[in-house]
Amino acid sequence: MQDALVERLSSPVPRYTSYPTAPHFNEGIGAEAYADCLGKLGRANRLSLYAHIPYCDRLCWFCACHTKQTLRYEPVEAYLKGLHAEIAAIGSRVSRDAPVTALHFGGGSPTLLRPDDMIALKARLEAGFTFATDAEISVEMDPNDLDEARHDALAAIGMTRASLGIQDFDPKVQAAINRIQTFEQTRGVVEAARARGVRSVNCDILYGLPYQTMETLAETVHAVISLMPDRIALFGYAHVPWMKKHQTMIDEAALPGIVARFAQMAMAAEMLVAAGYKAVGIDHFALPADRLAVAARSGTLRRNFQGYTDDQADALIGLGASAIGQLPEGYFQNMPATGEYLRRAEEGGLAVVRGYALTGEDRARAFVIEKVMCDFGFSFADLSARHPAFAPLIKGEAIGFAAADRDGLCRIEDGRFFLTATGRPFARTVAAVFDAHLASGRGRHSIAV
């Protein structure tokens, strides 16, 4: 019976790192609107920055990020000049009274930057924005890029969280996804980061990969647990070859089926909880004292384009090609093509080419969807207090869904809509119930488990 439920509820739906999701952004939102919204940020706002480095020195076939492979450093140098120009342009439009409380370097592979370039990039950010003294600084790391000089540079920029992509340690799986990375390499990076005072380490594991079995995944999870990372993300591999052509290098016949994927996820989750990690949302696990676990317990867990976070900033500024920002008025995305991004950045500093202006109904639905994804439910009273105009409509949808639910996914009790233990693995599918844009979307999505 459970197998049939998994197959029926695994239809492709968004990951809901935003609402509305990126396929609904439009070209009517551009640099002029972005500049106007940036100018409104001030003392009352807290800022989170995302700096995108869209280059890797190898291309992992499983990756769905916006990146490109380069074996030469010259394109990276040229890109950094444009990124510096954009930082200066945005910084000149944002009040220095608005503190930066979080900075995330993503990719691509930020750790392929030369040490001096890492330090120069952080200096440019500090020249453009005011950083809080306790700002969190996280960096996505590829162990194959790292050496002592780069570790020292990461310490010099004040990195507080190291985020390591592991995916799987099995050699056959690694060969199938073009991601060769030994356990010894990974352990060395964790030890080097901690030796330099890094307070938090995050590791990513993937299930649903080619040639992955319950046994090989269990070995990977056991190895990751031995490193005692503060956080572990357990993601399902998103096979989207229509969007990322390099994924055609993966043998689809070697991918586990939907039921096998679900079993892998459940087993890995059980292992992590048994090891003392607390489940956070649908795919994260954290040690009890970690800020992500604390946020989950206190009801302050958030979800944005980087996934689950304890970041409470009310404005996310995206920097770099394809980067997406979220300001109080809506979403803004930069030009994805690096060449055109550089031209726009170097000429005018702002490279936004599309976005979305939020309506009142969008805000109400975004609130509900985020609560479903983070807390597995929401209070009708809370919804009414925050979004009174649209609360009756959305409450009616929740009641209707619960009444029609024959699978035991959700319940309504004491004025609260919530997912049951059966429903929690399908939070994305339930969140989609409240997505008024989904039916009209042009985007294709990954399967829901």
Q: Return averaged pLDDT per consecutive 10 residues of the chain, 449 residues in all.
A: 84 92 93 96 97 92 85 96 97 97 96 98 98 97 95 98 96 95 97 97 97 97 98 93 86 94 97 98 98 97 94 96 97 96 91 97 98 98 98 98 97 98 96 92 66
Residue 67 is predicted with a pLDDT of 87
Report pTM: 0.94
Give the helix/strand (H/E) hosting 159. Answer: none
DSSP 282: T
Residue 58 is predicted with a pLDDT of 85
Residue 190 is predicted with a pLDDT of 98
Count CB neighbours of 348 within 10 A.
13
The CATH 1.10.10.920 domain(s) of the chain lie at 360-440
Angle (nearest 5°) at CA 336 between 90 and 355: 65
Give the E-state strand segments of 168-314 in sequence order. Answer: 200-207, 231-236, 278-280, 284-286, 302-304, 307-309
Q: Which residues pair with 162 in a beta bridge?
A: 139, 201
Domain 360-440 carries which CATH code?
1.10.10.920
Check if the beta carbon of residue 129 is closer than 8 Å to that of residue 168. no
The CATH 3.80.30.20 domain(s) of the chain lie at 23-356
Domain 23-356 carries which CATH code?
3.80.30.20
Give the helix/strand (H/E) hosting 95. Answer: none
SS3 at position 84: helix
Give the helix/strand (H/E) hosting 225. Answer: helix 214-226
Structure token pair of residue 193: 């980061």
Give the E-state strand segments of 380-440 in sequence order. Answer: 410-413, 416-419
Q: How many residues does the chain have?
A: 449
Angle (nearest 5°) at CA 316 between 346 and 190: 95
Residue 337 is predicted with a pLDDT of 95
Check if the beta carbon of residue 23 is closer than 8 Å to that of residue 441. yes
φ, ψ for residue 246 (rounded to 5)? Answer: -65, -15
